[in-house]
């Protein structure tokens, strides 16, 4: 496989139904590149360029006064003020450990709002419909005024996850159920169901409920969303690894927020192009 990959992909993030504005959107372009320094060590970076957004209408100033939830996602308007920023810049060390076990450790700027270090272990027996994984991370919130720096907020986040691809859907449906601790250090569970079509298009939906009460969570009661991922191959003559992303979240709130991890072992071991040693 190629050691170096680069791609340019469109991104559409949408948030609907908040009291601030009925429809919030951000359209942009993600330029990504990664390079396998060795068979096990991957370095990866991406830069996001904003084309248009209306997040200036997002006036949410935190949960109700009696809420103990830190603002782990609702500073989104402040981040969106940056027209160009490093979305992620990280190194991942991955290894097949034998007997169906895979492992990785990673560190760097992991997603738009958080950076830190983490590790993941996956048990995925060959040709099984099931897999089980655990990840643990220590992250700090990135500073929206200077995206290469951090705020004082830090969190320990992690999940136990079960993966199931039922044979009766021709293994095209993936059910992920996880329990763990989220970015506000609230604890709960997430169910994510997605379908991959023959074209490579993935459509999915998720819901998360944590030990944050509906009152404390604020409007919306719990976290949920919908996403579509479209391989750019469908639009270009030359092969590319880029994927257009469309994300739809009814509300951006602070409870039940997962850390964005770009490289997850289940996906890496599903992508048979990857020579995973």
| pLDDT tens by residue, 50-106 | 999 998 888 776 555 556 789 999 898 899 999 999 999 999 999 999 999 999 999
Query: What is the extent of the structural domain holding 242?
Result: 4-270
275 inside domain: no
171 inside domain: yes
CA-CA distance, 225 to 205, in Å (whole number)? 6
Strands (E), 165-255: 173-181, 187-196, 202-210, 223-231, 243-249
The secondary structure of 65-76 as a DSSP string is: TT-----SSTTH
What is the pLDDT averaged over residues 110-120? Answer: 98
204 inside domain: yes
Nearest to 84 by CA among 45, 50, 33, 115: 50
Nearest to 256 by CA among 168, 172, 204, 186: 186
What is the pLDDT averaged over residues 10-37? Answer: 86
| Cβ 200 vs Cβ 231: under 8 Å | yes
Q: What pTM does this model have?
A: 0.91
Total domains in the chain come to 1
Residue 238 confidence (pLDDT) above 80: no
Nearest to 179 by CA among 162, 202, 199: 162
Question: Domain holding 101: CATH number?
Answer: 2.40.160
Residue 28 confidence (pLDDT) above 50: yes
Q: Which one is predicted more confidently, 169 or 189?
A: 189
95 inside domain: yes
276 inside domain: no
Q: How many CB atoms lie within 10 A of CB 224?
A: 18
Per-residue pLDDT at 273: 45
Per-residue pLDDT at 171: 86
| Cβ 110 vs Cβ 130: under 8 Å | no
CA-CA distance, 94 to 268, in Å (whole number)? 10
120's CB contacts (< 8 A; 6+ apart) are 103, 104, 106, 133, 134, 135, 136, 261, 264, 265
Which pLDDT tens digit goes with each residue over 164-174? 999 888 889 99
231 inside domain: yes
Residue 248 confidence (pLDDT) above 50: yes
Mean pLDDT, rounded, of the chain:
90
What is the pLDDT averaged over residues 114-124? Answer: 98
250 inside domain: yes
23 inside domain: yes
């Amino acid at each position: 496989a190629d050691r170096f990959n680069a791609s340019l992909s469109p991104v559409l993030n949408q948030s609907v139904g908040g009291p601030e504005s009925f429809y919030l959107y951000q359209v942009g372009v993600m330029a990504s590149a990664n390079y396998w320094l060795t068979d096990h060590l991957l370095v990866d970076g991406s830069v996001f360029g904003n084309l248009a957004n209306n997040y200036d209408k997002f006036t949410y100033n935190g949960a109700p006064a009696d809420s103990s939830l830190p603002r782990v996602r609702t500073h989104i308007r402040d981040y969106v003020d940056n027209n160009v920023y490093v979305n992620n810049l990280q190194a991942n060390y991955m290894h097949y450990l034998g007997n169906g076990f895979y492992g990785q450790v990673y560190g760097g700027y992991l997603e738009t709002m958080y950076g830190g270090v983490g590790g993941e272990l996956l048990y995925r027996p060959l040709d099984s419909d099931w897999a089980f994984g655990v990840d643990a991370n220590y992250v700090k919130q990135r500073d929206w005024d200077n995206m290469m720096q951090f705020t004082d907020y830090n969190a320990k986040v992690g999940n136990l996850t079960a993966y199931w691809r039922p044979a009766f859907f021709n293994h095209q449906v993936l059910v992920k159920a996880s329990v763990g601790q989220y970015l506000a250090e609230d604890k709960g569970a997430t169910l994510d169901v997605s379908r991959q079509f023959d074209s490579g298009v993935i459509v999915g939906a998720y819901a998360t409920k944590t030990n944050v009460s509906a009152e404390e969570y604020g409007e919306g009661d719990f976290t949920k969303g919908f996403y579509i991922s479209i391989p750019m191959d469908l639009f270009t003559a030359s092969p590319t690894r880029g994927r257009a992303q469309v994300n739809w979240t009814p509300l951006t709130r602070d409870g039940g927020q997962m850390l964005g991890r770009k490289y997850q072992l289940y996906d890496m071991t599903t992508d048979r192009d990857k020579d995973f040693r």
